[in-house]
Amino acid sequence: MSTYTVPFVINGEERHVEETFDVTSPDTGKVLHKCGIATEADVAAAVEAAAAAGQQWRDFPTAKRRDILLKAAEIMTSRRDELAQYMIDEVGALRPWADFNLNLATDFFKDVAGRVSAVEGSVPPCAEGITSMIVKEPYGVVLAMAPWNAPYILGTRSVLFPIAAGCTVIFKGSETSPRTHHAIASILTEAGLPKGVLNYIVTNPANAPTVTKSLIAHPDVKKINFTGSTPVGKIIGKLAGENLKPAVLELGGKAPAIVWEDANLDLAAGQSIAGAFFFSGQICMSTERIIVHKKISSAFQEKLLAKIKEAFPSTSDAPILINASSVDKNKKLIKDAVSKGASVLNGDVDATESSKTRLRPIVVGKVTPDMDLYKTESFGPSVSLIEVESEEEALRIANDTEYGLTSAVFTEDLRVGLRFARGIESGAVHINNMTIHDEMTLPHGGAKASGFGRFNSHYGVEEWVRTKTITWRN
């Protein structure tokens, strides 16, 4: 076992505390390292540092802000192998998923560096004898919370957009990937970010409610962003509401992929399995429901199952999930569905794998609304296949969920695709691409219980500034 302990970063300095918890590998079950447990005293120190740095960072020249972010991109690239290994160890990622995270996070730094000088006010016309201007000012201290499943992407964007807008940040990392998230703070510190602009803390699950409540309630914290599950998002939203603080929430999903009668079935099958099973289905944008036209359902299923066998051969290890309870959750959902009439088209829910954290892809047919699998986010390698015969029926089922993060449509007729796109209640619709799609130029966020507010592009920067009206008599 490593003797390393993940430290906090407060006011530009690493901070070690006495109380720690073990961080274990989802692959081997062995302890990787330890991490400090933040208390309310650490919360106070982090907020104090962020508040003290606020005025300096707000007035910091935008060209220098830009240069720090560009330098961070260089450092992330130079430390690529080290950073990838943290993610592989802590969340059980394969190298391609780690590389995808690092590629997109690096692109975020580069893209946002070019946006720091693009925040502009206006000079609107006013009543006779009055002149006015509208300026945009950073909110101040921001609380950022990101999950473990795409730690470099979600962790970077949670702090990057507020920092670019002139805010200072307390970053509460995930207890599942604390060293991975710490690396983001390390990179920005190495890039020359002034002390106090980014402060990093982590705590264990037992202390998380108290620490989170203290952070949100602190009078110096002005706005919050949280990416994670909808149940926890509801708690964050409630706490934010009680303290009259705005929040950006990017939460869970139950993404549908509609495969229409004229679809390219090879493309649809390949993109559907990628959308459903990439990183063991542990992505908020993962495809959870494939809604297929009855006319081509048999042909599509044949191609889908063939591609699954090709991508996940029986001779290879089963995909890793973050913990055994995630495997148990998926098995429970599938067994409930089967007990109510569903059929397993691919996979074996009772199979024994090399560890309790592994599960092979499972496709379930004949799924109906009375089954838990129909509406519950599985967040694992299981997907439902549902047959339909009309556009109206496909839209009804696609929208028959509390979630609305993303979706996909497969059709060779763009007019059909656009009709579906306009009718699906979600933050994104991807025509002839999988449901998992995120890049820096596109606003990212959901509808309904998938949250509100947007990351990415200029939308992501604008979330962290507010307008101030100034008028004067001529």
Rg value, the chain, Cα:
23
Catalytic residue among 35, 90, 167, 250: 250
Residue bearing tokens 């070019």: 114
Residue bearing tokens 């919370």: 145
Which tokens is 205 given? 């699950």
Distance CA 335, CA 185 (A): 43
37: which DSSP letter? -
The backbone region for 122, taken as left when phi is positive above 0, alpha when psi lies in -120 to 50, beta otherwise, is beta
Which SS3 state, helix, strand or coil, does residue 135 take?
Answer: strand
Residue bearing tokens 């720690």: 20
Among 180, 178, 148, 146, CA closest to 161: 146
Residue 25 has φ and ψ, to the nearest 5°, of: -80, 130
Residue bearing tokens 């120190």: 45
Q: Does the active-site annotation cover 250?
A: yes
Distance CA 230, CA 451 (A): 8
Opening angle at CA 455, ends 451 and 457, nearest 5: 145
Opening angle at CA 188, ends 184 and 192, nearest 5: 165
Cα dihedral 312→103→179→254 (10° resolution): -50
**Do the Cβ atoms of 350 and 335 come closer than 8 Å?**
no
**Do the Cβ atoms of 419 and 403 come closer than 8 Å?**
no
Which SS3 state, helix, strand or coil, does residue 295 take?
Answer: helix
**Amino acid letter for position 47:** V
Which tokens is 406 given? 């993303």
318: which DSSP letter? P
Q: Does the active-site annotation cover 284?
A: yes
Which tokens is 323 given? 């913990």
Among 34, 7, 27, 355, CA closest to 182: 7
Catalytic residue among 90, 167, 284, 288: 284
Opening angle at CA 38, ends 34 and 40, nearest 5: 165
Which SS3 state, helix, strand or coil, does residue 130 take?
Answer: strand
Element (H, E) at 468: strand 465-473
Which tokens is 230 given? 């909808």
Which SS3 state, helix, strand or coil, does residue 222 take?
Answer: strand
Which SS3 state, helix, strand or coil, does residue 469 take?
Answer: strand
Separation in Å, CA 102 to CA 78, 80, 182, 435: 11, 7, 14, 20
Return the active site residues.
250, 284
